[in-house]
Amino acid sequence: MHPFFTNISGFLKTIVGPVNATASSEVDGAAIQLDGPGYQYKSAQVVLYLGAATGTAGTASVALQVQQSADGSTSWTSYTDPQGNGAVTDASPATLTATAGTSAATYNSTTGLLVITISGAPLGASPGNLLGYNGTTASVTGTGAGCPSLNGSFPVVSITSSGTVFTLQAPTGLVASGLSNGTLAFTSAAQQSTINVNLSGAKQFVRLAIVPTVTGSVTSIPVVGVVALGGSSENPAI
């Protein structure tokens, strides 16, 4: 038998496509046999891809768990390796709001910071950390040829505790002043989380289980879970 491979590229399997996150029930991937004729998988890299959620005000998060079973069809249980790895959760649940009108906007051409004030705190008075989120502006007008370039999707840099003033990272060097009008909506940026799992203590079969959790009016989250398995084989091509 060939020695154990140190890489984990021996096997690649995509287990799910888009998941409708309005259903908070578990979505299970196909069973994967770890030990069979000519091969023995002992390690895995598990990746959770989470796209931008869609919908109105609410939150959404997705957890991915490695599960194990002796026969590949019954008695599935969560698996955690000796290092405590076995599950990964999207680190930035999507927070969304319906489009809100701006009451004031300023732009700094040197830093590219676009500061937008919205009456009524559309995400609530204490929206929390929005780093990693995008603010999408539209219909922003003003003086200067650079004004149209201030309409688009930009990373959120900061938000005041009152939930009314949002700072976005727009391009630098634009000629734009006297801004008025405009709207602002929020979506989460796509996320990717990765863990390495030691499968030496797992049962004969493993699978990935994806569990979405939503509140409010979130309608969907595109989710993909991928596992790459590695170990030893009598055929290096396996």
pLDDT tens digits along 78-119: 999 888 888 877 644 454 554 678 888 999 999 999 999 887
Q: What is the CB neighbour count within 10 angstroms for residue 23?
A: 11
- Give the chain's length: 238
pLDDT of residue 14: 53
Q: Are 114 and 170 in contact (CB under 8 A)?
A: yes
Give the pTM: 0.60
Confidence band for 147, pLDDT divided at 50, 70 and 90: very high
Confidence band for 7, pLDDT divided at 50, 70 and 90: very low
60 vs 2 pLDDT, higher one: 60
pLDDT tens digits along 43-89: 888 888 776 666 555 566 778 889 999 999 999 999 998 888 888 77
Cα separation, 226 vs 103, whole angstroms: 44
Cα separation, 182 vs 138, whole angstroms: 5
Q: What are phi and psi of 148, to 5 degrees?
A: -60, -25
Q: Are 232 and 18 in contact (CB under 8 A)?
A: no
Beta partners for 82? none
Say which residues have a Cβ less than 8 Å from residue 103's Cβ, sequence separation at least 6. 117, 118, 119
Q: What are phi and psi of 47, to 5 degrees?
A: -125, 135
Work out the average pLDDT over 115-134.
71
Closest to 232 in 3D by CA, of 44, 42, 11: 42
Say which residues have a Cβ less than 8 Å from residue 77's Cβ, sequence separation at least 6. 67, 68, 69
pLDDT of residue 177: 93
| pLDDT value at 234 more than 50 | no
Tokens 């680190």 found at: 91
Confidence band for 146, pLDDT divided at 50, 70 and 90: very high
Domain architecture of the chain: domains with CATH: 11-91+191-233 (2.60.120), 95-188 (2.40.30)
Please tell me the least confidently modeled range out of 39-48, 121-130, 169-178, 181-190.
Answer: 121-130
Confidence band for 22, pLDDT divided at 50, 70 and 90: low
Q: How many CA atoms lie within 13 A of 160 on its CB side?
A: 13
User: DSSP state, 150?
Assistant: G
Q: Reduced to 3 states, what is the DSSP secondary structure of residue 126?
A: coil
